[in-house]
């Protein structure tokens, strides 16, 4: 049997003719009823005029609701008490105050405890008669003090919950008090501690479906820390008017202590034999952690001061739980310090390769089955296969939250954005910490861990139609159902979240330091490159002038005095002029190479066929002289700087003409293919220039892209300066691409190059 999620619970209820969504959608804060042991007045704070009143004010206050509404509240409260209530409401909109008030009822003074809270423009006054024998706060003080002392002595969450249940029962006298923890925001609940009278069936360790406490009820428990029901069979009292003028809605009783509760909940309590109840909310970081639930098997009216004492105790209990959890997190983090240090010690500037490389330290840090680092569009995985759809989903979820934000779920398949392939065969849970607002993240994954739970009702039948009509009758407590929870991993603990955040903080410091070091190195490299470019530019210009003078001088001597010189001297003068000319060509090539690093690229979508035609205008004559035929194969558009790409093709075509085969059909093919570069990464659009020339020996292939490097003599194979392929390499790298070759002597050479990221 599997654990039903809220959707499956609804489907199971629908199968027996019950709309479970009615519970979740019921406006329980606007039921328009209060419990009859007290009465209520809603008063306009600005004017002191009674806006609404309970229909039992005549019995408790001596004046009918119809008479009170529209009149001054001072007909009931003294001006002093009203001023005190008004002053409190002006300062504390979200809190309540209990005032002891004496009201003249038919000429007889009667004491009330009046609870005051602000509701928009209204002050709501809830009046409960004070019994003569009712104990005052001084009576509760020692008990509360003792309870808090015992609470502080608890060292674990389990001890703390048990102490809370014991002390609340001692304070209130309820027959059963349980500490009830929710499994997630909208999940089921488990009884984790219990105190009860003898002879009652224990609930400790039992689970109750999520439908027991629907989402809107959980919101009210989060906002109001205490809730008491004196008698489940109380018919309640309506308000006058039933609907407020201007809104046509009942009075909002969200913060009311007398507000009656849903008929569904009353039916639930009757079904388990409960006559009265009280709930104290337990919050953790502003969210509902659980409840201290009190049940009585007879009617019990909890006086306001005792409620206040229990509410105060609930606040202390919430704080103590937080302290214990923080301590447990600190201890767990200390225990994992060695693993954290081992992870950090191997991290380099290449975060992707160093963090998840080698052993499984990152995974074992959180006892996970897999881990993933997604950064800059690159995903590095460890431990288990993950679908691309899941990584894309997590990347979308990571976009927006501040770096360091932790998100986790132990029921990934129930998330609305969970990909289908993950629901069928994937991790059951994930804990993710965001690294940047652009979607970078580090995540851990756990496989499903089937576990057995004891349920207080058959989880496949969360509701039954009860004897009072369509009311929720979810269970009796006599039978225990055992169900196996599938599709859920071992829950992520606060210690897991703390360890993930600690790793993020440390990595952030390392990455920032590496980035600062890299920025400094880049600046040094920029200055060095600039100096080199400037040197090459200046040297080329400054050296050309004396070279030109040397060449001219040699020419003048040959022309004017050749007849008077011996043959050896004339030969040396010709050599001098030829070497000066070659040096001039080398300087021109150097100057052109330097300029490639100075100007920017102007990349657009350009037809490769058009660029090839332009290159043939220059290289075509050399190719024709060598008898080389050029073949282009369905050339598409590429994303490049057209002028620079033109230079690449000219140099590669001229190179093919120089090193054409000595005989046979000489061809150069130009085509585009999708290939994976030698450096790795995904396949990319690759331009291929392939000839069937003489080829390059394997031991010389790594030299061909070096500046001024020729594999033949200066006057062989058409001459040249040896800078052409170096220019090709520099242009390709400036595009962010890669250049490589494949060659075999006698079988030709193929040059391959990519052009970086496609802007289209």
Q: Could you read off the pLDDT of 151-164 as tens digits, one per residue? A: 778 888 888 899 89
Decide: helix, strand or coil at residue 606: strand
Between 725 and 128, residue with greater pLDDT: 128
323, 489, 484: which is closest to 408 by C-alpha? 489
Q: At what angle do helices 137-152 and 157-172 cross, to 10 degrees?
A: 160
Strand partners, 673: 686
At 460 the pLDDT is 62
The contacts of residue 738 (CB under 8 Å, 6+ apart) are 677, 678, 679, 732, 753, 754
Q: At what angle do helices 137-152 and 304-335 cross, to 10 degrees?
A: 10
When the pLDDT of each residue in the chain is averaged and rounded to a whole number, the result is 80
On the question of a cis peptide bond just before residue 112, with omega within 30 degrees of 0, the verdict is no
Cα–Cα dist 726/720, whole Å: 13
Q: For residues 165 and 194, is the Cβ–Cβ distance under 8 A?
A: yes
Angle in degrees, CA 409, 329, 357, rounded to 5: 65
At 230 the pLDDT is 94
pLDDT, one tens digit per residue, over 230-279 is 999 999 999 999 998 877 889 998 888 999 887 778 888 888 889 999 99
Please count the other Cβ atoms lying within 10 Å of the Cβ belonging to residue 452: 9
At 523 the pLDDT is 72
Cα–Cα dist 324/314, whole Å: 15
Is the model's pLDDT at 517 over the cut of 50? yes
Please count the other Cβ atoms lying within 10 Å of the Cβ belonging to residue 23: 25
What is the mean predicted confidence (pLDDT) over 164-177? 92
Alpha-helical regions (H) of 233-290: 263-271
The mean-pLDDT minimum among 209-218, 425-434, 547-556 falls in 547-556
107, 109, 82: which is closest to 97 by C-alpha? 82
The residue assigned the tokens 């059951």 is 428
Q: How long, in residues, is the chain? A: 760
Q: For residues 236 and 36, is the Cβ–Cβ distance under 8 A?
A: yes
At 342 the pLDDT is 76
Q: pLDDT class for 107, splitting at 50, 70, 90?
A: confident
Is the model's pLDDT at 427 over the cut of 60? yes
For β-strands 451-455 and 206-208, DSSP reports them as: parallel
At 238 the pLDDT is 94
The mean-pLDDT minimum among 43-57, 264-278, 558-572, 664-678 falls in 558-572
Cα–Cα dist 203/212, whole Å: 15
At 538 the pLDDT is 65
Alpha carbons within 13 angstroms on the beta-carbon side of residue 758 total 10
**0.85 surpassed by pTM:** no
Token pair listed for 19: 């709309």
Q: For residues 161 and 192, is the Cβ–Cβ distance under 8 A?
A: yes
pLDDT, one tens digit per residue, over 324-381 is 888 877 777 777 777 777 777 777 666 766 777 666 888 888 889 989 888 887 888 8
Total H helices, total E strands in the chain? 20, 29
Is the model's pLDDT at 6 over the cut of 90? no
Between 4 and 522, residue with greater pLDDT: 522
174, 209, 163: which is closest to 190 by C-alpha? 209
DSSP single-letter state for residue 707: T
pLDDT, one tens digit per residue, over 615-657 is 888 788 888 888 888 888 888 999 988 888 888 888 888 888 8
The residue assigned the tokens 């002093």 is 80
């Amino acid at each position: 049997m599997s654990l039903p999620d809220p959707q499956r619970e609804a489907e199971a209820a629908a199968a027996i003719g019950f709309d479970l969504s009615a519970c979740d959608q019921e406006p329980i804060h606007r039921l328009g009823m209060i419990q009859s042991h007290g009465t209520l007045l809603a008063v306009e704070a600005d004017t002191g005029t009674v806006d609404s009143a309970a229909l039992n004010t005549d019995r408790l206050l001596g004046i009918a609701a119809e008479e009170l509404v529209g009149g001054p509240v001072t007909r009931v409260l003294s001006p002093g008490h009203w001023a005190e209530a008004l002053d409190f409401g002006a300062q504390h909109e979200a809190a309540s105050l209990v005032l002891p008030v004496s009201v003249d009822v038919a000429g007889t003074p009667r004491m009330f405890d009046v609870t005051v809270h602000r509701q928009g423009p209204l002050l709501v006054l809830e009046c409960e008669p004070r019994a003569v024998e009712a104990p005052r706060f001084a009576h509760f003080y020692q008990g509360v003090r003792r309870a808090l002392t015992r609470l502080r002595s608890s060292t674990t969450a389990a001890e703390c919950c048990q102490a809370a249940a014991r002390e609340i029962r001692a304070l209130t006298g309820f027959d059963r008090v349980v500490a009830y923890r929710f499994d997630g925001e909208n999940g089921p609940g488990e009884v984790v501690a219990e105190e009860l009278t003898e002879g009652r069936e224990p609930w400790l360790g039992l689970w109750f479906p999520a439908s027991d406490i629907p989402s809107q009820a959980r919101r009210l428990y989060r906002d109001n820390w205490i809730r008491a029901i004196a008698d489940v069979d109380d018919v309640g009292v309506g308000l006058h008017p039933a609907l407020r003028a201007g809104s046509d809605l009942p009075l909002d009783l969200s913060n009311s202590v007398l507000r009656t509760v849903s008929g569904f909940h009353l039916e639930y309590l009757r079904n388990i034999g409960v006559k009265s109840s009280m709930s104290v909310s337990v919050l953790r970081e502003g969210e509902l952690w659980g409840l201290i639930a009190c049940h009585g098997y007879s009617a019990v009216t909890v006086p306001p001061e005792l409620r206040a004492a229990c509410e105060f105790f609930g606040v202390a209990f919430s704080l103590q739980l937080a302290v214990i959890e923080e301590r447990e997190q600190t201890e767990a983090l200390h225990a994992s310090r060695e693993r954290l240090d081992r992870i950090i010690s191997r991290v380099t500037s290449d975060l992707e390769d160093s963090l998840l490389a080698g052993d499984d330290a990152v995974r074992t840090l959180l006892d996970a089955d897999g881990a993933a680092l997604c950064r800059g569009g690159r995903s590095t995985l460890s431990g288990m296969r993950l679908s691309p759809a899941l990584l894309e989903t997590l990347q979308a979820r990571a976009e927006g939250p501040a770096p360091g934000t932790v998100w986790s779920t132990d029921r990934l398949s129930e998330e609305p954005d969970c990909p289908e392939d993950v629901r069928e065969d994937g991790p059951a849970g994930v804990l993710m910490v965001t690294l940047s607002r652009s979607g970078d993240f580090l995540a851990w994954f756990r496989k499903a861990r089937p576990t057995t739970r004891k349920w207080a009702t058959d989880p496949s039948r969360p509701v039954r139609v009860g004897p009072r009509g369509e009311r929720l009758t979810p269970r009796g407590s006599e039978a225990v159902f055992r169900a196996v929870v599938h599709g859920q991993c071992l829950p992520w603990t606060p210690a897991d979240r703390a360890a993930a955040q600690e790793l993020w903080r440390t990595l952030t410091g390392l990455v920032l330091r590496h980035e600062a070091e890299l920025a400094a190195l880049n600046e040094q490299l920029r200055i060095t490159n600039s100096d080199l470019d400037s040197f090459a530019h200046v040297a080329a210009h400054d050296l050309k002038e004396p070279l030109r003078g040397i060449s001219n001088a040699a020419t003048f001597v040959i022309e004017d005095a050749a007849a008077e010189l011996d043959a050896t001297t004339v030969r040396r003068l010709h050599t001098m002029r030829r070497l000066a000319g070659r040096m001039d060509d080398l300087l021109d090539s150097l100057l052109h190479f330097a300029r490639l690093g100075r100007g920017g690229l102007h990349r657009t979508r350009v037809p490769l066929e058009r660029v090839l035609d332009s290159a043939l205008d220059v290289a075509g004559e050399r190719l024709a002289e060598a008898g080389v035929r050029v073949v282009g194969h369905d050339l598409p558009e590429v994303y490049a700087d057209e002028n620079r790409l033109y230079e690449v093709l000219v140099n590669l075509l001229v190179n093919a003409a120089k090193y054409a085969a000595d005989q046979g059909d000489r061809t150069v093919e130009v085509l585009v293919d999708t290939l994976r570069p030698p450096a790795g990464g995904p396949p990319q659009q690759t331009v291929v220039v392939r000839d069937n020339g003489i080829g390059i020996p394997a031991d010389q292939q790594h030299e061909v892209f070096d500046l001024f490097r020729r594999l033949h003599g200066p006057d062989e194979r058409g001459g040249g300066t040896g800078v052409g392929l170096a220019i090709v390499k520099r242009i390709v790298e400036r595009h962010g691409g890669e250049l490589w070759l494949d060659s075999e002597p006698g079988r030709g050479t193929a040059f391959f190059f990519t052009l970086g990221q496609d802007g289209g």
